[in-house]
Amino acid sequence: MPLMSMLVAVFLPINLSYLIPMAQNRQKTAMDFYSLYSAEDMRKARNTAWKYFVTEPKSKGGSEKGKRLDDYLCFLTQPESSEAVTPEMHEIYQETSRVLEYFAMINACLERRAVDRDMVRSFIGWYYSWWRDEVMNSLRDRPFMLGEPARYRPVWWNKLKELDELCDETAQPDGAANGSQRGSLTNKTPNSTIHTSQPPIPESH
């Protein structure tokens, strides 16, 4: 009994002063990310980029999407090419970069365990999978060699492993992710998630 009292005396203060505040900080960071994602200026950025790189090219068909992706990569990796970019296109490229860099920032926080994983998954899982498959992977798969120096390489160019894993968890049936039962808003029951399996539309990104 005295040993148990000693353990309580040691670990209770640690839990109150360290572990609980850490969890609260992670939850607050997740809420901050949600606020950023749902803000009007970010919604506008998502809609602008999605329309330019996904919706319009699909309606036009052919090689239109590939051409737009190549032009965007040139803008990102070859500074001299920005001189020929119109103000309108510059705005579209900036909006696109803002969305992709947002995903990279979430991934970095997940790597550092600085954000609540389940809370992030509840609002970003499906949306990220659309952006990854339709835009990010399409850019990475282009037959386009990123030149040196490496400082011109976009921060999201390499796979965002933490977000990819998070997306895979969201897509799996109850408790199937990594063989564990995670307490998530997206894997309890089909009716417990705010997401749908319907194809994305610009306004929902």
Residue 8 or 59, more confident = 59
Tell me the average pLDDT across 148-156. 69
What is the chain's mean pLDDT, rounded?
75
Q: How far apart are CA 53 and CA 51, in angstroms?
A: 6
Say if 202 falls within a structural domain.
no
Say if 25 falls within a structural domain.
no
Residue 179 pLDDT greater than 60, yes or no: no
Say if 101 falls within a structural domain.
yes
Nearest CA to 77 among 144, 13, 174?
Answer: 144
- 103, 131 contact by CB (below 8 A): yes
Residue 142 pLDDT greater than 70, yes or no: yes
- Token pair listed for 196: 């749908």
What domain count does the chain have? 1
What beta strand segments (E) does 91-169 contain?
none
The residue written with tokens 């850490």 in the block is 22
Residue 154 or 5, more confident = 154
Q: Can you give the pLDDT at residue 154? A: 87
Say if 13 falls within a structural domain.
no
Say if 29 falls within a structural domain.
no
Q: How far apart are CA 92 and CA 95, in angstroms?
A: 5
Q: How far apart are CA 4 and CA 23, in angstroms?
A: 25
Tell me the average pLDDT across 91-113. 94
Say if 81 falls within a structural domain.
yes
Q: How far apart are CA 103 and CA 135, in angstroms?
A: 12
Tell me the average pLDDT across 127-155. 79
- 68, 57 contact by CB (below 8 A): yes
Say if 21 falls within a structural domain.
no
Residue 103 or 14, more confident = 103
- 109, 158 contact by CB (below 8 A): no
Q: How buried is residue 187: exposed, middle or buried, by Cβ count under 10 Å (0-12/13-18/19+)? A: buried
Instruction: Note down the domain range covering 75.
Output: 40-169
Say if 144 falls within a structural domain.
yes
Q: How far apart are CA 130 and CA 163, in angstroms?
A: 12
Out of 6-10, 18-22, 100-104, 188-192, which region has the weakest mean confidence (pLDDT)? Answer: 188-192
